[in-house]
Amino acid sequence: MFDHLSLGVSNLQRSINFYNVVLAPLGIKCLFNLPYVAAYGIDRPMFWIGNRGELTEICPSSGFHLAFVASDRAEVDAFYAAAMEIGGKDDGKPGLRPQYHPNYYAAFVIDPDGYRIEAVCHNPQ
């Protein structure tokens, strides 16, 4: 349904450092990095982050979250481990979420700007 998504961040370089590490286990890489924006994807830019200006006190919406596709459960685990190592905050350790469906395996973390991000695998183990 969506073609791409953009997030405003308070410190672009800090967020680039975070997402370079956290998205690598999912096969997602930074496709380009300009002074004001960076774009991530596998074969084309789909996730963008950019400076939101001088408004460093803005808090992201508490209801917003972004889920990245993981091809298997090991990628979800690696995503979570990478986030914890680079300073992300735990918002749900890797595990099954059967309330969504029997094979919903996901992990949730909070990025440096307070955004809730997830890696999810829908495949059976």
Would 34 be classed as within a structural domain?
A: yes
Give residue 53's pLDDT. Answer: 63
- What CATH number does the domain containing 95 carry? 3.10.180.10
What is the reported pTM?
A: 0.80
Would 57 be classed as within a structural domain?
A: no
CB contact at 8 A, 28 and 68: yes
Instruction: Please give the residue range of the domain that contains residue 97.
Output: 5-52+65-121
| pLDDT averaged over 10-residue windows placed end to end, the chain, 125 residues | 80 95 97 90 92 56 79 97 97 95 94 92 92
Would 60 be classed as within a structural domain?
A: no
Report in angstroms the alpha-carbon separations of 33 from 40, 73, 98, 100, 101. 9, 29, 38, 36, 37
The residue with tokens 């440096």 is 112
Distance CA 15, CA 9 (A): 7
Which DSSP category does 24 fall into? G
Give residue 60's pLDDT. Answer: 57
Give residue 8's pLDDT. Answer: 87
Query: How many structural domains are present in the chain?
Result: 1
Would 78 be classed as within a structural domain?
A: yes
Would 58 be classed as within a structural domain?
A: no
Would 59 be classed as within a structural domain?
A: no
**3-class secondary-structure state, position 118:** strand
